[in-house]
Every structure is written in C-alpha cells, then in structure tokens.
Amino acid sequence: MKIYKAESQFSSVLLRTKDTNVFEYTYYTCPQCNCKVRFSEHDFHRYELNRMTKYKGVFSDSFVEKNNSFLEFECPGCKIKTRIYFAIYYGDKFPNVKIGSVITE
C-alpha cells in the first residue's frame, strides 16, 4: 500500500456547496499512470459514513481513519485499486467535503 496526501493527487481538496443545484468538481490524478478522474460533491455524499470495502484483502482495515468515510474505485487507466478518505462537515448552511488522503494498492 502507498499513502498520498490528497493535495498531491487532487485539483482541490475542499468542495464547498454554495447552491444545492450546482455541484463542484475536483480532479484526481492517478500517481501510477497520470489518468485523470473527475469527482463531484455528489460522489462523496453517496459514500458518506461508508465503512465497507469493495476490495477485501487489498486495504488494511486497521488503517481506517476515524471519523472519516471512504470511497474506493479502480483507476480506469492502470486498474490500480484506490481508496480516498474524506469527511463531510457543515459550514454555513450546506455540507462541505474535505478530502484527507489517498491509498493505492
């Protein structure tokens, strides 16, 4: 497993909701093949409070960050399995997404 700071892999690590009809986007760059994947706030909200892995045996369950959710996917370019840790918190009126770290197999 390799661990990366979110700032080194994402175009933005903080997604702030200003309008519930408009989603902000961030772009993830795979550290292995440089493939870019777009994520919206909606993608993170779908995995809020997620604690179930899609890839049993790939990621250590002992590394689950407390108080953070995660989403997992396979890079479309090189097929490396990736886990993104994030937290959702409430700022003004709307929820904000803060991306914490990235782990790859």
Distance separating alpha carbons of residues 71 and 99, to the nearest angstrom: 11
Name the β-bridge partners of 86: 69, 99
Task: Look up the pTM and report it.
Answer: 0.87
Which segments within 1-105 are labelled E, that is strand? 2-5, 14-16, 25-29, 36-40, 69-74, 81-90, 95-104
* pLDDT value of position 66: 63
**Is pLDDT of 5 > 90?**
yes
Task: Please name the amino acid found at residue 64.
Answer: V
What is the distance, to the nearest Å, from the Cα of residue 22 to the centroid of all Cα atoms in its chain?
A: 19
Own/partner pairs for 58-63, CB < 8 Å, 24+ apart?
A: 58/105, 59/1, 59/83, 59/103, 59/105, 60/1, 63/1, 63/103
Tens of pLDDT, residues 17-74? 777 677 789 999 999 999 999 999 889 988 888 778 888 888 876 566 666 789 999 9
**Is pLDDT of 79 > 90?**
yes
**Is pLDDT of 10 > 90?**
yes
Distance separating alpha carbons of residues 98 and 76, to the nearest angstrom: 23
Distance separating alpha carbons of residues 82 and 24, to the nearest angstrom: 21
Q: How confident is the model at residue 90 (pLDDT cuts 50, 70, 90)?
A: confident
